[in-house]
A = this chain, B = another copy of it.
């Protein structure tokens, strides 16, 4: 069971999102640990707002939210993250796509506690 839920934060648009979609290979070799570690490490970075992540079989979507493009750039260049990206390209992912976006508006139910 995925413990995730739609993420909410005080920050209002505009803010930024990185949509990362990926198709896994069958190679494990530390994938789950690295994936969890990257989510934790991202959450410690300046400018991080939140993350949502789901995988069903081989296909997964992770969306992270940030206050600025600079914050995204710094996270992309983080040493541990660079190592994980390289392993992703060479071992863990058949295919992937990264999209950097500006979130122009967001909405949902008034309260999340329905």
Which of B5, B7, B100, B114 is within 8 Å of A103, CB to CB? Answer: B100
Q: How far is the CA of A110 from the CA of B60 in the complex (A)?
A: 20
Question: How many Å from the CB of A103 to the closest CB on chain B?
Answer: 5
Q: How far is the CA of A94 from the CA of B22 in the complex (A)?
A: 27
Residues on B with C-beta less than 8 A from A19 are 17, 19, 63, 103
Interface size of A in residues (CB-CB distance below 8 Å): 42
Q: How far is the CA of A37 from the CA of B21 in the complex (A)?
A: 22
Q: How far is the CA of A17 from the CA of B104 in the complex (A)?
A: 10
Q: How far is the CA of A102 from the CA of B6 in the complex (A)?
A: 20
Residues on B with C-beta less than 8 A from A114 are 94-95
Which of B17, B56, B96, B108 is within 8 Å of A54, CB to CB? Answer: B56
Residues on B with C-beta less than 8 A from A98 are 106-108
Residues on B with C-beta less than 8 A from A82 are none
Residues on B with C-beta less than 8 A from A6 are 21-23, 95-97
Residues on B with C-beta less than 8 A from A23 are 5-6
